[in-house]
Structure 1
Amino acid sequence: MTQSDSSRQSQNPISSAQNSVENVHRAVSHALSHPTSQTLDEAQNAINKAEKSVDQATMHSDSSAVQQLAQELTEEEARLQNNQ
């Protein structure tokens, strides 16, 4: 496999961050509708992973899309904290 084949198969940092933030939204929604220690832990783990992913995306681009993802992540964190 050549380098270009490999890079086509991997996600770019922005799409990876977008997927991570979408996972946070689902995990937070699930934790709020079914609040157990497990779902709350899963939501926090998703947030931690998304923070790393958004940080990676920020290092590659300071676009409005990345800024929007960071804002969405902040809002999801607040939504989880405010409803616990």
Structure 2
Amino acid sequence: MSKHDSSLQSQNPISSAQNSVENVHRAVNHALSHPTAQTTEEAHNAIEKAENSVAQACIQSHSPAVQQAADSLDQEIERLNTLNTFD
């Protein structure tokens, strides 16, 4: 199987975790630029899904990519928490 063929396979847990963290990044950006209860809730929901996805990836692998996804998720959580400091 060529490398190109393997890219057509369904997502593995690591790429799923990375995609989930990218979704969190977008949701947090939206919540920070449009701080409403709905956008904040959407960001929290994205974080919850990403936490599950990263945990699943950790079970599969302890690769640097998984650690990077976990670190990025932590940074996004910190960014979202800055909303609470403006209350």
**TM-score, structure 2 as length reference:** 0.85
Partner residue in 2 for 1:81? 81
Q: Please say if 1:32 is aligned against 2:39.
A: no
Q: Which runs of 5+ in 2 are unaligned?
A: 1-7
Alignment partners' CA distance in 1, 2:37 and 2:10: 33
Identity of aligned residues (%): 68
* Deviations 1:20-49, CA, capped at 9 Å, x for gaps: 000000000000000111000000000000
Alignment partners' CA distance in 2, 1:9 and 1:15: 11
* Matched ranges for 1:50-69 at <5 A: 50-69=50-69
Q: 1:83 offset after TM fit, Å?
A: 2.6
* Matched ranges for 1:10-21 at <5 A: 10-21=10-21
Which letter does structure 2 place at the counterpart of 1:32?
A: L
Q: Please say if 1:42 is aligned against 2:42.
A: yes
Q: 1:82 offset after TM fit, Å?
A: 1.7
| CA RMSD after TM alignment | 1.0
Aligned residues: 77
Which letter does structure 2 place at the counterpart of 1:46?
A: A
Alignment partners' CA distance in 2, 1:35 and 1:82: 11
Q: After TM superposition, what 4+ stretches of structure 1 lie above 6 angstroms from structure 2?
A: none
Alignment partners' CA distance in 2, 1:68 and 1:19: 12
**TM-score, structure 1 as length reference:** 0.87
